Structures are given as structure tokens and as C-alpha cells.
Amino acid sequence: MAALNKQKLVLTIEYDGTGYRGSQAQRHGATIQSELETALEKLAGTKIRVHLAGRTDAGVSATGQVVSFRTELDLPLETVATALNHFLPAEIAVLGVYRVPEEFDVRRHAVSREYCYHIWHSPVPSPLRERYSYRVYGELDLSAMNQAAAMLVGNHDMAAFASRLGKKAGSTIRRVDAAEVVRQDAEITFRIKAASFLPHQVRNIVGSLIKVGQGKMTLDEFSELMTAAVPGSAGPAVPGKGLCLISVNYVKDLGDYNENL
């Protein structure tokens, strides 16, 4: 197989995170990163380190995760996608492959990330729906939930929604561009778009919004929770299975880089 100087490639991937310990490589257990690196080693014949645009926890899925790596492989981009999909487990799929400049960083150059969280609002269990959603029954006031979600938009200290903050956590101020709760029949979806997120931020936000919807937390209390910014005071965090990383966004489309290289 012909080789050339190392180039940087970017993958957009979709995955079902149900059976994985998260996206980031860990000492024990299968992760999205470890599966990608195993598939790349089978394709290239050498170990290749991948870098993800965002970390997802155990059980969390994605339809638009972005991954980069450097390689000497000289193959058409379509062939790289086809080969990796052959080597990857059924729960992970490469949607697209792009050639980008060496200086492009999938994490630092992302301008926003979008997540959704699915709630199955029904007194009746649904084995299929509940694989990717969290079941809640009883009354839920969606208007109150949306009013609380609207408070998140803008630049705010999101410490209350972080389950854990390390000693070197840095600023807990985060810019939220959009947040809303929508309903279609028994499925309720919370959507949020932000520049970046704190650990477990979305899952703790949803846990708090559910409390607002159930009348267990007032809108004033939700606002006070945000203002106090006491780490870990929100929630409880809902299960990871309902969370999905929809997309990672950049200043220009990844496909535009191919045309300029």
C-alpha cells in the first residue's frame, strides 16, 4: 500500500453508546475511542491515536461526533470510510471522512455542540423507546419547563449543573446559544446548543427541568439554583441512555476543507 507524508483526516461518526463505557479510552472496558483505534490499526497496520471533539459518558449515543487522526495512508476518502465500517462493530459507523489542515483541532476549533435528551412520558413502559430515553410518568408542565430552559440561554455560571469539578476545572461560565423543550405525542425532547459543557451538565439540567415540570421546583428556585452556582446542587442527573450528541459545529463545513487542500 502506497504511503505519503502524514496527513490529518477527520471522521464524522454515529454510535449507539448503550454498551460502552463512554467515548474516551479507559483502562478497562470498551469505549468508542478504543474501537476506532482498533479498526484503524487493522486498516493501517500500525497504531493510530484518535482525538474526539467531545467526551460522552457511558450509555450516551451520538449522531454527529467528530474525530481526527494523523496517518500515512494514501487511500481515497470513500475507501477509508468503507474499510473502517467493515472493521468497526455494528454499534459504530463512519458517516464521512474529510482531509483537513494540520493545524485544525476538532475540539478547540468547534464553535458549538448540540445535544438532545429524550424523555418517554408515559405510564406504560416501552422496551424499545426506553433503550434511548428516560421514562417519566405523571403530570409535566412543559410551559414551566420551557420557561426554565430559557433562563439557561446566554453566558451563565453553570457550576450547579456539574456533577464533579476537578482542582483544575477552570471557569464554569458557559455560553448557551439555545435551549428548549419540545413534545411529540409521548416523546419529550430537550435540545441545547452551547459552546462547551461541564461534566454531566446536560443530564443535571434535564433532572432539574423534570422537577420544575412536576411542580417540585419553582421557576424562582431554578433561577436561584443557577445564581448560587453551588457545584453539584442541581439534578439529580438523569440516565445517560437518553442523551445524544447531535452535532459538533465549526466556522465552515468540514467538506469545504477538502476543496481547498
Which pLDDT value is given to residue 28?
83
Which pLDDT value is given to residue 4?
53
3-state secondary structure the chain: CCEEEEEEEEEEEEECCCCCCCCCCCCCCCCHHHHHHHHHHHHHCCCCCCEECCCCCCCCEEEEEEEEEEEEECCCHHHHHHHHHHHCCCCEEEEEEEEECCCCCCCCCCCEEEEEEEEEECCCCCCCHHHCCEEECCCCCHHHHHHHHHHCCEEEECHHHCCCCCCCCCCCEEEEEEEEEEEECCEEEEEEEECCCCCCHHHHHHHHHHHHHCCCCCHHHHHHHHHHCCCCCCCCCCCHHHEEEEEEECCCCHHHHHHHC
What percent of the chain clears pLDDT 90, i.e. is strictly above it? 88
Is 254 domain-assigned?
no
20 marked among binding-site residues: no
Quick check: is 141 catalytic? no
Q: In this structure, are 75 and 198 located in the same domain?
A: no
Tell me which of 87, 109, 131 is where a domain ends.
Answer: 109
Q: Considering the candidates 16, 57, 157, 256, report the single residue annotated as catalytic.
A: 57
Which pLDDT value is given to residue 170?
82
Mean per-residue pLDDT over the chain, rounded: 94
Which pLDDT value is given to residue 168?
62
CATH number of domain containing 176: 3.30.70.660
Tell me which of 109, 137, 172 is where a domain ends.
Answer: 109
Pick from 139-153, 166-180, 213-227: least confident: 166-180
pTM of the model: 0.93
Per-residue pLDDT averaged across 61-89, rounded? 96
Is 257 domain-assigned?
no
Q: In this structure, are 179 and 209 located in the same domain?
A: yes
Q: How many domains does the chain have?
A: 2
Q: In this structure, are 27 and 82 located in the same domain?
A: yes
Which pLDDT value is given to residue 259?
58
Which pLDDT value is given to residue 26?
85
Which is more confidently placed, 96 or 169?
Answer: 96
Q: In this structure, are 218 and 172 located in the same domain?
A: yes
Residue 2 has pLDDT above 50, yes or no: no
What percent of the chain clears pLDDT 70, i.e. is strictly above it? 95
Which pLDDT value is given to residue 227?
96
Domain containing 63 equals: 3-109
Which is more confidently placed, 259 or 246?
Answer: 246
Q: State the pLDDT confidence band at 261, using cuts at 50, 70 and 90.
A: low
Q: In this structure, are 77 and 55 located in the same domain?
A: yes
Residue 248 has pLDDT above 80, yes or no: yes
Q: In this structure, are 41 and 121 located in the same domain?
A: no
Residue 223 has pLDDT above 90, yes or no: yes
Which pLDDT value is given to residue 3?
44
Q: In this structure, are 120 and 225 located in the same domain?
A: yes
Q: In this structure, are 102 and 136 located in the same domain?
A: no
pLDDT tens for each residue of 6-57: 899 999 999 999 999 999 988 888 999 999 999 999 999 999 999 999 999 9
Per-residue pLDDT averaged across 192-204, rounded? 95
